[in-house]
Amino acid sequence: MSDQVTIRNTVTSDFDAVIELDLVGDPAEKPDYWRGVFDRYVTAGRDDRIFLVAEKSGEVIGFIVGEVRAWEFGSEPCGWVFALSVLPKSREMGVGQLMLTEMCRHLKKAGVTTVRTMVDRENKLTLSFFRSQGLRTGRYVELEKPLDDL
């Protein structure tokens, strides 16, 4: 088996590996959440919904999920990356960069010219990663407010 990292489309048998790699959120809710994602992004087989994994020596060491979203908030169709994870021991080896580059290729092929993501301001690691890949603050500003005063 090659030691090289390969990026490929996710298949249904990657389900458990993806859940293992998902370090965010409530562990009890992960299977339901990822089942829904697999239904929409793997089984559906649509070109505008992209779910890739990074594999090394037969082990899944990362994943990235993205899609084309159109006309949200008046925006032209645009690529969105909404999930990305790399196995901690495989970080700083260019795995994230390989996955994002491949994701961008797929998105471009699907007809969009821009890729977006949203990251928690405190998540310095992920923000630094996306910035290192050339992403900058975009033209849309995220706004929010707590609803506890209603």
Where on the chain is the footprint of other proteins (CB under 8 A)?
A: 121, 124, 127-128, 131-132, 134, 137
C-alpha to C-alpha distance for 25 and 30, rounded to whole angstroms: 7
C-alpha to C-alpha distance for 70 and 87, rounded to whole angstroms: 31
Q: Which is nearer to other proteins, 19 or 127 (CB)?
A: 127
Q: Which is nearer to other proteins, 35 or 131 (CB)?
A: 131
C-alpha to C-alpha distance for 53 and 64, rounded to whole angstroms: 6
Contact 111, 145 (CB under 8 A): no
Q: Which is nearer to other proteins, 113 or 132 (CB)?
A: 132
Q: How far is the CB of 145 from other proteins (least distance, A)?
A: 12
C-alpha to C-alpha distance for 54 and 4, rounded to whole angstroms: 10
Q: What angle do CA 11, 88, 1 make, to 5 degrees?
A: 50
Q: Which is nearer to other proteins, 114 or 133 (CB)?
A: 133
Q: How far is the CB of 132 from other proteins (least distance, A)?
A: 5
Q: How far is the CB of 119 from other proteins (least distance, A)?
A: 9
The one-letter amino acid at 53: V
Q: How far is the CB of 141 from other proteins (least distance, A)?
A: 9
